[in-house]
């Protein structure tokens, strides 16, 4: 064989190898695409469960991890800090959402936070019947990018549940809207939470917001656009109609100014003067079909926050399409509907344990169906204070007299030794609680 033939053969072999590797890579990418764009049965890969908030703990970012509170910023204060309302801005035509710009009364600087995190507030609310004021705890997401001088939260006024006008409307949201004017003060814990933007290189980001679930998405979106992040960003935002569409001009301006920001607004019940194609892009709900129609080839990172109906349909649908669990991040604002979806742990079902509430003298068998110890106590009519129901505010902290608990996520709140947070724990052994 001549030298020229040998060189030709070697070159051909190298080219064949390169082509094979290229084809393999293309097929893998295509398989990922099919997971999102074809029906479930076409996506032949293993379906993995979505990553619950409990598993969204920060990885390898020691600079942002404070001892004992994995999701709190490093320079954060401990306990509550007093803030003054510097400015209030109504954000929607219907006047149901108001932003509050908060500055620290001590004049100090504000620690940065991860876009998507929230503040926990403690408020003293006067009793309308003239009794002593009540102290209540609530969480509100930071709705803007981190700034050194002020924090912003945006709060929706919560009415009585539909058809239940005999029940009082939401206490704190209405108190903030009606009573706390510019200049008033309130107390907040440092930013915390496990739902936040991850810094994953070049993967396109899909933000899915329903109603007031838009607030953490605004923080993420404003951060990305402020720093001219080159990643493609898709915002799917579902509201009833133009009256509920918050920060419309701001969102339109962002999508005009940033070619990588794609706004997909869905109105489920548009008014006659809402203009399709101008005010909103789609009629109906944000659903999997819309995502499949709109998103392009390849892997995406999903962030979902919205009402229970949206969370309960979309998050499992993404899972079922085989979207990697690490690529689904979600947060629930209410009593965590998705947390309640979690199946009882097999150990708990096979070996039921006894939970004793010593203060009320009740003992209940735990079979895993109650969700959390907080749900179990409430189900027994045992009064327990709660705020976030997400392990952050510390309101449900309870002393353990005997036994051990297991956490479904790492608590954000600092805990006294020998205490537990009922809202995110389940019994690990027979348990006695000081309740
Ligand atoms: C992490 C996190 C972030 C959040 N971020 C935001 C945010 O950015 N913006 C925002 O607006 N909200 C946010 N929330 C929700 C917020 O914390 C509050 O839950 C919300 O404002 C309602 O609080 P409230 O005190 O007004 O209502 P509540 O007083 O807690 O009442 C809630 C509902 O219960 C009804 N109710 C009253 N009594 C009864 C009864 N006896 N039986 C049945 N129902 C009754 C009320 O009418 C009302 O509809 C967030 C929540 C979490 C956990
Ligand atoms: S209710 Fe907030 S930590 Fe449990």
The residue ranking higher by pLDDT, 2 or 93, is 93
Whether residue 315 has pLDDT greater than 50 = yes
| Residues ≥6 apart with Cβ < 8 Å to 56 | 194, 195, 329
Structure tokens belonging to residue 344: 């009882």
Domain extent, residue 211, equals 199-340
- The per-residue pLDDT for 323 is 94
Same domain for 303 and 206: yes
On whether both 293 and 373 belong to a single domain, the answer is no
Determine if ligand 2 sits within 6 Å of the CB of residue 373: no
Q: Which residues pair with 79 in a beta bridge?
A: none
- CA–centroid distance, 292 to ligand 1, in Å, is 32
Q: 153 exposed, middle or buried (CB, 10 Å; 0-12, 13-18, 19+)?
A: buried
Residues 111 and 175 reside in one and the same domain: yes
| pLDDT tops 50 at residue 404 | yes
- Report whether residue 396 contacts ligand 2, using a CB cutoff of 6 Å: yes
Boundary (domain end) residue, out of 143, 158, 188: 188
Helix (H, G, I), strand (E, B) or coil at 419: strand
> How many Cβ atoms are within 10 Å of 173's Cβ, its own excluded?
20
**Per-residue pLDDT at 337 exceeds 70:** no
Give the model's confidence band at 53: pLDDT under 50 very low, under 70 low, under 90 confident, else very high.
very low
Q: Are 137 and 421 in contact (CB under 8 A)?
A: no
CATH number at residue 102: 2.40.30.10
Q: Could you tell me if 317 and 423 lie in one domain? A: no
pLDDT of residue 135: 87
Portion of the chain with pLDDT greater than 90, in percent: 64
Whether pTM > 0.95 for this model: the answer is no
Residues 389, 314 share a domain: no
Q: Phi/psi at 81 (nearest 5 deg)?
A: -125, 145
Q: What is the pLDDT of residues 268-291, one digit of tens each?
A: 999 999 999 999 999 999 999 999
Spatial separation of the C-alpha atoms in residues 121 and 83, rounded to whole Å = 10
Q: 249 and 282: one domain?
A: yes
Q: Which of 340, 360, 376 is the last residue of a domain?
A: 340
User: Taking CB atoms and a 6 Å cutoff, what residues make up the pocket around ligand 1?
Assistant: 118, 138-141, 153-156, 158, 160-161, 167-174, 193, 212, 215, 333, 388, 390
pLDDT at 19 over 70: no
- Same-domain check for residues 156 and 225: no
Q: How confident is the model at residue 346 (pLDDT cuts 50, 70, 90)?
A: very low
Say how far apart CA 215 and CA 346 lie, in whole Å: 36
Cβ contact 234:209 at 8 Å:
no
Tell me: do 231 and 322 sit in the same domain.
yes
User: Quick one: which atom of ligand 2 is closest to the CA of 394?
Assistant: 3
Higher pLDDT, 335 or 331: 331
pLDDT at 199: 83
pLDDT value of position 10: 67
- Winning range, highest mean pLDDT, from 1-10, 73-82, 127-136, 216-225: 216-225
User: Where among 299, 322, 340 does a domain terminate?
Assistant: 340
Give the Cα separation of 248 and 162 in Å (integer). Answer: 26
Instruction: Say how far apart CA 17 and CA 277 lie, in whole Å.
Output: 48
Provide the pLDDT for residue 207.
Answer: 98
CATH of residue 303: 3.40.50.80
Percent of the chain predicted with pLDDT > 70 = 78
Which residues, in sequence order, are CB contacts of 166 under 8 Å at separation 6+? 160
The reply to whether 2 falls in a domain is: no
Cα distance between residue 214 and residue 143, in whole Å: 8
Domain assignment present for 39? no
- Candidate of 121, 124, 167, 334 to mutate for ligand 1, largest count of ligand atoms within 8 Å of Cβ: 167
> Does residue 220 surpass a pLDDT of 80?
yes
- Within this chain, do residues 110 and 136 fall inside the same structural domain, yes or no? yes
Backbone angles phi, psi at 176, to 5 degrees: -65, -45
Residues 26-39: tens digit of each pLDDT: 444 444 433 443 23
Q: Is 391 in the pocket of ligand 2 (CB under 6 A)?
A: yes
Q: What is the pLDDT of residue 255?
A: 97
Burial 88-116 (b: 16+ CB within 10 A, else e): beebbebebbbbbbbebeeeeebbbbbbb
Q: Count of CB atoms within 10 A of residue 169's CB?
A: 12
DSSP 169: P
In a domain, 3, yes or no: no
Shared domain for 332 and 364, answered yes or no, is no
| First vs last C-alpha separation in the chain | 89
In this structure, what DSSP letter does residue 332 have?
A: -
Residue 29, domain member (yes or no): no
CATH code of the domain in which 406 resides: 3.10.20.30
- Report the DSSP pairing between strands 205-210 and 301-305: parallel
Please check whether residues 173 and 86 belong to one and the same domain. yes
Asked if the structure places residue 306 within a domain, the reply is yes
Ligand 2 contacts CB of residue 384 (under 6 A): no
Q: For 132-187, how does the pLDDT look when each residue is reduced to its tens digit (9 = 90+)?
A: 898 889 999 999 999 999 999 999 999 999 999 999 999 999 999 999 999 999 99
Average pLDDT rounded to a whole number, residues 227-232: 95
Identify the pLDDT of residue 35: 43
Q: Among 23-27, 185-189, 207-211, 410-414, whose mean pLDDT is lowest?
A: 23-27
Summarize pLDDT for 375-396 with one digit per residue, the tens. Answer: 999 999 998 988 888 787 788 9
* 50 belongs to a structural domain: no
How high is the mean pLDDT of the chain? 83
**405 assigned to some structural domain:** yes
DSSP string, 107-140: --------TT-EEEEEEEE--TTSSPPEEEEEEE
* Number of domains the chain contains: 3
**Residue 148, both tokens:** 């050194």
Q: Is residue 97 in some structural domain?
A: yes
Tell me which long-range contacts 211-214 makes (C-beta under 8 A, separation of at least 24).
211/156, 211/238, 211/239, 211/244, 211/306, 211/307, 212/97, 212/154, 212/155, 212/156, 212/246, 212/333, 213/304, 213/305, 213/306, 213/307, 213/310, 213/331, 213/333, 214/246, 214/247, 214/305
- In tens, the pLDDT along 64-104 reads 222 233 466 656 898 899 999 999 999 999 999 999 999 99
Check whether residue 318 and residue 380 sit in a common domain: no
Residues 35 and 50: their CA atoms lie apart, in Å, by 14
**pLDDT tier, 63 (very low <50, low <70, confident <90, very high otherwise):** very low
- Cα Rg of the chain (Å, integer): 25
pLDDT confidence band for 58 (50 / 70 / 90) = very low
């Amino acid at each position: 064989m001549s030298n020229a033939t040998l060189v030709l053969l070697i070159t051909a072999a190298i080219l064949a190898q390169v082509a094979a590797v290229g084809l393999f890579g293309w097929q893998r990418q295509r398989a990922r695409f099919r997971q999102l764009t074809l029906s479930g049965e076409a996506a032949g890969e293993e379906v993995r469960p979505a990553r619950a908030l409990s598993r969204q703990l920060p990885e390898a970012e020691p600079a942002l991890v404070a001892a004992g509170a994995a999701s709190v910023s490093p320079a954060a204060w401990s306990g509550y800090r007093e803030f003054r309302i510097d400015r209030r801005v109504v954000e929607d035509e219907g006047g149901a959402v108001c932003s509050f710009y908060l500055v620290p009364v001590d004049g100090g600087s504000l620690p940065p936070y991860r876009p998507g995190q929230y503040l926990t507030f403690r408020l003293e609310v006067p009793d309308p019947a003239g009794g002593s004021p009540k102290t209540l705890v609530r969480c509100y997401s930071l709705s803007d990018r981190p700034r050194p001088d002020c924090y912003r939260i945006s709060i929706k006024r919560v009415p009585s549940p539909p058809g239940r006008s005999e029940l009082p409307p939401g206490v704190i949201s209405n108190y903030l809207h009606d009573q706390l004017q510019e200049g008033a003060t309130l107390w907040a814990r440092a930013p915390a939470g496990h739902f936040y933007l991850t810094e994953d290189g070049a993967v396109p980001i899909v933000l899915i917001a329903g109603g007031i679930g838009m607030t953490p998405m605004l923080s993420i979106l404003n951060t990305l656009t402020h720093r001219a992040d080159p990643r493609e960003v898709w915002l799917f935002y579902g509201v009833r109609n133009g009256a509920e569409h918050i920060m419309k001009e701001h969102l339109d301006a962002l999508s005009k100014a940033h070619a990588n920001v794609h706004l997909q607004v869905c109105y489920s019940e548009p008014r006659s003067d809402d203009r399709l194609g101008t005010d909103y892009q789609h009629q109906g709900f944000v659903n999997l079909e819309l995502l499949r129609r709109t998103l392009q080839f390849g892997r995406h990172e999903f962030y979902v926050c919205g009402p229970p109906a949206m969370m309960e349909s979309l998050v499992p649908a993404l899972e079922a399409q085989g979207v990697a669990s690490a690529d689904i991040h979600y947060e629930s604002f209410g009593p965590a509907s998705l947390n309640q979806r979690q199946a009882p742990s097999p150990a708990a079902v096979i070996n039921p344990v006894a939970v004793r509430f010593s203060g009320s003298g009740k003992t209940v068998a735990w079979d895993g169906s109650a969700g959390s110890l907080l749900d179990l106590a409430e189900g027994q009519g045992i009064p327990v204070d709660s705020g976030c129901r997400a392990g952050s505010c510390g309101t449900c902290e309870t002393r353990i007299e005997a036994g051990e608990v297991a956490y479904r996520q790492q608590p954000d709140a600092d805990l006294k030794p020998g205490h537990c947070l009922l809202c995110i724990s389940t019994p690990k052994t027979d348990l006695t609680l000081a309740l």
